[in-house]
Structure 1
């Protein structure tokens, strides 16, 4: 079974939209029993214990769905390159393509 986790920080304006897009992408591309969990990153220590690259980070089986040059222990927002320019979350289409490439 595939494990999908959304890592986010409190007050991140993009985490809810990312979760909605992720759920729709999973519904379109994966088995119906795929579970998405959300994990609040509430300290630099917590961020240092997981593969956190800013909020929101999407992990599939423990691997960043959108790999970057590195992790961060900063409680900060993440920027994604999308077809429409820089954004705080990947598009649903980007998530679907990344899920398809992953599995």
Structure 2
């Protein structure tokens, strides 16, 4: 188990990027729940962020790839628009407790 950050460091409707032991990850909090994915687009294998910690579309309702605009559901990482439609981001198991947000790699 690896600690990503404290719960307070990931506000609702926001995203953050992390490097854990050389693995690039992204975390999103939506409606109080945390989702963690590998920061890698299934289409080109590139990082998703527009700039550091910016992974969401303008409405903060979808994860958006900065390279070609593919859109992914926050809740399960499924691509719903773009060249990788039907594919999904790689889910990273996570949980949150009083200490913070933890991932299992």
The TM-score with structure 1 as length reference comes to: 0.28
Which structure has more relative contact order (CA 8 Å, sep 6+)? It is 1
The TM-score with structure 2 as length reference comes to: 0.28
**More strand as a share of residues:** 2
